[in-house]
Structure 1
Amino acid sequence: MGWSTFWLALREIRRNLMRSFLTVLGIVIGVAAVITMVTVGNGATRAVSDQISSLGSNLVMVRPGQRLGPVSDTAGAQMFKEADAQALATQLAGISAVAPAQSAGVTAVYGGRNWATRVTGSTAEYFHTNNWRVAQGRVFNEAEERAGASVCLIGETIRHELFGRQDPVGEQLRVRKFSCQVIGVLASKGQAAIGQDQDDTIVMPLHAVQRRLTGNQNVGTLLVSVADGADAERVKRSIGELLRERRKLAAGEEDNFSIMDTRQIADALSGTTKVMTMLLGAVAGVSLLVGGIGIMNIMLVSVTERTREIGVRLAIGALEREVLLQFLVEAVVLSSAGGLAGVGLAVVASYVLASLMGVPFLFDAGIALLAFGFSAAIGVLFGFAPARRAASLDPIEALRHE
């Protein structure tokens, strides 16, 4: 009986193929949208985690002011000095490296080309704390750091925009009114999680930037690399206590600096991405319900059109549950076919969107099975009322129906 009911359902669906296609379109779109949103969202979350990890291993960032982020609240806050970085490195346990950093916006010029970028002045520890690898050349040495030598390393974007295919190592790059010798090219990191191009950078010795660009001894950021196995939270508390002491803050005063590690940034950005994924998935799920309503509507129309057929079946001895099962199977077959088509469409759409957005393609088979199962459940839920109506028809009245 089961197979005969299934084949009867397929026959009725094939009889009105165009109507059946339009009926399941809502299910197709709903399933595809849900799976696509979740897949792309998972890829975006992974991309955020990878980008954050590229900032540095166990990195803690300390900046003046109360807010840390793309728009830092540093107005009026006391800036750091190089001695603060030295104090952190020598007086605290659980720290593998500390790099003071000061940045300035500049226009870099080579030959007939120029490019607006940022110069960061720091020590050789900067490359360790920020997880930078050198693709060509070398980093500046201790003697060049102390002397504030006019040497620099450039990011991949600077190399591409100013030097093209030419080897930049050994060339003189003009930054504002002075020249610096390019001694190295940094390995590419790509775009950061907040949209910033990490390769659009020039790194010079801290003293060179202070003397030639900023004109003071201020340090805008302290980059601290926590040693492997050390408790990051304990290290952050120690940093805060030492800086409060050095900045002479009383017990009741608020910190005039901000401390944040890469894990906090990753958690915040990943949490935002997951919330947006869930929200978009929920919105897409609404179209599944709309598709279910469409199936119920068409099944009611089908019951009306086939009233005489139902009357004949009931008159020759068909049971109510057999008629109920026939129409219920039709609804489930429709919704399941839409679910399968939606899964196939989602695979293609997810792959294309992931490629366009530059995020990993992380297809979740569990979500696909869940969405397909939900589409089949919608067929049962919304197909039951029309099936019940067909099964409860009076055979005599049904035979009289025109």
Structure 2
Amino acid sequence: MKTLGQIFESFRFAWRALKSNLLRTILSLLGVTVGIFAIIAVLTFVDSLEKNIKDSLNFLGTGVIYVEKWPFLADNSGEYKWWEFWRRPNASYNEFKFLQTNLKHQNGISIFASKGNFTLKRNSNSIGQVRLVGGAQGYNIIFEVNVDQGRYFTPEEVEAGRNVVVIGSEIARVLFPDGQNAIGETIKIKGLKYVVIGVIKKEGQSFMGTPSNDYAAIIPYQAFRKLYQTGTGAWFEVTSRIGIKGHDYDVGLVELENELRGMLRVRRGLRPAEKDNFAMNRPEALANAISGIFDIIGLAGWIIGGFSILVGGFGIANIMFVSVKERTSIIGLQKSLGAKNYFILFQFLFEAIFLSLIGGLAGLMLVYLFTFIPFGDLIVTLTIKNIVLGLGVSSVIGLVSGIVPAAMAARLDPVVAIRAN
């Protein structure tokens, strides 16, 4: 208890010392404030930008493998061999049915195709720039289509290619103004009548302007094939992709990928020595590539802020040396009254850490105010992780800056110290 009491008394001495030299305290913490602000502001902006970009990629789904002719990224050599990829066959409906029947490590599978710049009409109302999607059963699982009103297609409607449609919230708002109920009503797509059976929940615009279901009209895949030819040849204007959702863990996706590769090679009659003539794309590959870029930007933030913090650390160390010099006689008096070395050490060490923490808190407050600045569709958020990081860095800087002056104060001879002017 005596030791705890002395440590608490060290806190009190440190706090009184900071208050008694307020102007010097403020000037000393400016370097730390600027450094913490620079580092945490960059990390906050980078984290927010990364999160917004990854959220914009949600339209690709999560835990999904896509079978198509074009890979998302270049191979390990960094070369994107487009002259080989364009000759590959497109994914076909027969391959989809084969995989749907035989794949074991899947939680959902669908084939789909899409085409943009459509105009949908209902009576005198119309809306353009609509993305028309043809999706088989399971498309709503792959892309997590949240139907707010009505329902999704039944297997019978998909297989028969019936003229039914699930529309986005903006399409419903324009074609059915004043809150009219769209379910059961008829709209026209390419002059053909389609019955609305569902309205998708509003998603809003993403940071990168990636496709949103707000302006999407989804019809059965077989109905889409009545409008456009889809097939395996490279010359088809509209190509299809197969999406397979795996289990929500890495091992499950690896098992699915291995099983999928083996089945597709067998289905396409590839010999063991032949290369795959298909790509198996995972959205996580894009996310990992983005993370690598932002790691470099974050490192640049550390370097920029590190110089400011280094200057701030030297400033705190300088002030602590001055404080030791000013209070040498007081230190001698404390030691002559029985104060232990660790009491003197903690007294100055806590003072340095307090000084650095106050600077860090001021820097974090500036970053918090920075998050209120509008950046268009970019939402900037100061996370708990970055707050803890900022306080941790501040504490370490205070500890490192104050350890030498504090150790010098603790080792002072009480007789010599008490005689100091």
TM-score, normalised by the number of residues in structure 2 = 0.69
Q: How does 1:112-151 map to 2 (within 5 A)?
A: 112-142=125-155, 144-151=157-164
Residue of structure 2 in register with 1:187 after alignment: 201
Correspondence 1:149-160 to 2 at 5 A: 149-160=162-173
Mapped to 1, the partners of 2:384 and 2:392 lie a distance apart of 17
Q: 1:257 Cα deviation (Å)?
A: 1.2
Does the 8 A contact of 1:57 with 1:131 survive in 2? no
Deviation of the 1:162 alpha carbon: 5.2
Q: Which residue of 1 aligns with 2:257?
A: 236
Whether the 8 Å contact between 2:29 and 2:316 is mirrored in structure 1 is: yes
Which residue of the other structure, out of 182, 185, 199, is the alignment partner of 1:168? 182
Show CA shifts across 1:318-342 (max 9, x none): 79x7988765554333223334545
Alignment partner of 1:209 is 2:224: yes
* Contact 1:40–1:354 (Cα < 8 Å) also in 2: no
Match of 1:221 among 241, 261, 276: 241
Distance in 1 (CA, whole Å) between partners of 2:207 and 2:344 is: 58
Structure 2 regions of 5+ residues with no counterpart?
1-5, 75-79, 233-238
Alpha-carbon contact 2:56-2:210 (below 8 Å) kept: no
Q: Secondary structure at the match of 1:282?
A: helix
The answer on whether the counterparts of 1:292 and 1:382 sit within 8 Å (CA) in structure 2 is yes
Shift of 1:37: 6.5
Q: Give the percent of matched residue pairs that are identical in Structure 1 and Structure 2.
A: 27
Q: CA deviation at 1:24?
A: 1.0
1:296 and 2:307 aligned:
no
SS for the counterpart of 1:180 is: strand
Q: Which residue of 2 aligns with 1:196?
A: 210
- Distance 1:120-1:382 versus aligned 2 partners, 3 A rule: same
Aligned mates of 2:156, 2:349 — CA distance in 1 = 82
Q: Which residue of 2 aligns with 1:331?
A: 352
Q: 1:276 to 1:152 in 2, by over 3 A?
A: farther
Match of 1:59 among 59, 64, 70: 64
How far apart, CA to CA, are the structure 2 residues paired with 1:90 and 1:360? 45
- Counterpart in the other structure of 2:384: 363
- Aligned CA RMSD, in angstroms, stands at 4.9
Greater mean alpha carbon deviation, residues 219-228 or residues 354-363 = 354-363
Determine the structure 2 residue equivalent to 1:87. 98
1:104 is aligned, of 115, 125, 128, to 115
> Aligned to 2:271, what secondary structure does the other structure show?
coil
Equivalent in the alignment of 1:247: 268
- Cα pair distance change 1:300/1:313, threshold 3 Å: closer
| 1:104-147 superposed Cα distances (whole Å, 9 cap, x missing partner) | 11232444543313211122332233332322223344554455
Moved more, 389-398 or 124-133: 389-398
Is the CA contact (8 Å cut-off) linking 2:152 and 2:198 kept in structure 1?
Answer: yes
Q: Name the structure 2 match of 1:19.
A: 24
SS of corresponding position for 1:290: helix
Number of residue equivalences: 390
**What per-residue deviation string (whole Å, max 9, x for no partner) do you get for residues 268-310 of structure 1?**
2685488368637734761433321222344456678x5xx75
TM-score for both structures, normalised by structure 1: 0.72
Amino acid at match of 1:206: Y
Alpha-carbon displacement from aligned partner over 1:140-181 (angstroms, at most 9, x marks no partner): 445544554433211234334554544333444444555534
State the partner residue of 1:376.
395
Distance 1:317 1:124 in 2: 82
Equivalent residues of 1:43, 1:354 under 8 A apart: no
Please give the secondary structure, in 1, of the residue aligned with 2:384.
Answer: coil
Contact 2:32 2:356 (8 Å CA) reproduced? yes
Residue ranges of structure 1 left out of the alignment (5+ in a row): none
CA contact under 8 A between 2:207 and 2:378: conserved in structure 1? no
Q: CA deviation at 1:60?
A: 2.6
State the Cα distance separating 1:192 from its structure 2 match: 7.0
